[in-house]
Amino acid sequence: MSDETTFTGPFTVALDGPAASGKGTIGRALAATFGFEYLDTGLLYRAVGARMNEGMDPVEAAETLEAGVLDDPALRTSEAGQAASKAAALPAVRDALRDFQTAFSRRLGGAVLDGRDIGTVICPQAEVKIFVTASAEARATRRYRELAARDPEISYETVLADIEARDERDMNRSDAPLRQAEGALRLDTTEMSIDDAVAAATRAVAERLKT
């Protein structure tokens, strides 16, 4: 990264979008390019959802969550994704995790957060807001290829149904539904390559750092 885009103060990049839209790949690329810290907030909800599936009270699961559990590979499964969507639909869980996310977003040296309500609720004043989307079919194809490498028995139809069910919950929940934040750059990755999407997001951040 060039000196003209180096930043040492708080600087927040908010990435929102539905499941398998590519926002995680973009977020990690931005963090690597600009030296920012990166948080996949979906892992917070996956971890809470997993604990709920084990019988733990949702709020207790959120309030006692420790960052170390976010590295658990089990949180990347389709089952964990379904659990996350259910956990995220509970306002009390969202409230319990909000302080963690807000504090992370304002750390010195910059931060990239991706999720469903980063630009609308968690960080409405983020320096850069990006909404990443794609058709359900395109997202299901990506997720199927990812999951099939670990589970040859999984079907595309099952993955598509999972994507559509999660979209329904995420977009229609009463608290912080998934939507594009005001002023956000919209990236539709249905036909756009991930390299082009990363390049567009990188330009947006670099331009904002110069102002």
pLDDT for position 1:
47
- How confident is the model at residue 6, as a pLDDT? 56
Residue 191 reports pLDDT greater than 50: yes
Nearest residue to 22 via CA among 84, 114, 89 = 114
d(C-alpha 125, C-alpha 101), whole Å: 14
Contacts of 62 (CB under 8 A, 6+ apart): 44, 48, 87, 92, 93, 96, 97
Using the predicted structure, report yes or no on whether residue 9 has a pLDDT greater than 50: yes
What pLDDT shows up at residue 175?
87
pLDDT of residue 3 exceeding 60, the answer is: no
In the chain the first and final C-alpha atoms are separated, in Å, by 16
Residue 2 scores a pLDDT above 70: no
CA distance 78 to 71: 16
Neighbours of 67 (CB within 10 A): 12
91 annotated binding-site participant: no
Tell me whether residue 149 is annotated as binding: no
Q: Which domains does the chain have, with CATH numbers?
A: 3-210 (3.40.50.300)
Share of the chain above pLDDT 90, in %: 80
> What local confidence, expressed as pLDDT, does residue 67 receive?
84
Q: Is 6 annotated as a binding residue?
A: no
Residue 23 assigned to a binding site: yes
Q: Which of 114-123, 124-133, 145-154, 187-196 has the lowest mean pLDDT?
A: 145-154
Element (H, E) at 129: strand 128-133
What is the residue-averaged pLDDT of the chain?
A: 93
Contact in structure between 14 and 119 (CB atoms under 8 Å): yes
Q: For residue 124, say whether it is annotated as part of any ligand binding site.
A: no
Q: Does residue 15 carry a pLDDT above 50?
A: yes
- The DSSP letter of residue 19 is T
Whether 159 and 147 have beta carbons less than 8 Å apart is answered as: yes
Q: Alpha carbon of 197 to those of 35, 106, 184, 194: distances in Å?
A: 19, 25, 14, 5
Asked if residues 96 and 21 have their Cβ atoms less than 8 Å apart, the reply is no
pLDDT of residue 88: 87
Give 92-111 pLDDT, tens digit per residue. Answer: 999 999 988 999 999 999 99
Residue 189 assigned ligand-binding role: no
Is 174 within any annotated ligand binding site?
Answer: no
Q: How far apart are CA 51 and CA 111, in angstroms?
A: 27
Residue-wise pLDDT for 78-92, tens only, equals 788 888 888 988 999
22 is in an annotated binding site: yes
What is the pLDDT confidence band of residue 40, given thresholds at 50, 70 and 90? Answer: very high
CA 146/CA 149 separation, integer angstroms: 6
pLDDT over 70 at 122, yes or no: yes
